Structure 1
């Protein structure tokens, strides 16, 4: 399909040490992944907690919201997960086409 080995890849985990956040390292890592996988896949997905900072980061990296999985965190974890003081329930997926 489209001459790509696999149509879709997913970023599972990405993190920056808090001291180095908001300095462009995360965005550079995302750009490296897109350069590395160019010609190998067509789209990348990333799933994250539905909180403003996470969505904003990925949108700043040219991802767009694809879909949400309702109750993902409450259905799949045996303990509550909080991010930015908010109880995570839904997972939001964002996608970006590799050009």
Structure 2
């Protein structure tokens, strides 16, 4: 199934992509939803990443977009060679981390 995945705990798609709607993406609000969607539907052709995905009821940070990107890299059954992604997080450090991790991994597997 060809689809686009939007990972963000609060934003709606048009807040990031003004010409698109929520109907243009499958939306994951948590790391767990992100993993479950990919397990059920396979790898999307495009993923838009937020990093900071909120806190639990005790104020502990929930797994973030970087953890989601790491999960992708560690799934040997997923072929990320043609994955297109964008990081729309407003966290500049995490944005660089997610982008660097995926860019480096995709470059590595495309060279081998």
What band does the TM-score fall into relative to the shorter chain? 0.3 to 0.5
Higher strand share: 1
Higher relative contact order (Cα pairs below 8 Å, separated by 6+ residues) = 1
Higher helix share: 2
TM-score by length of 2: 0.33
TM-score by length of 1: 0.36
The structure number with the bigger radius of gyration is 1
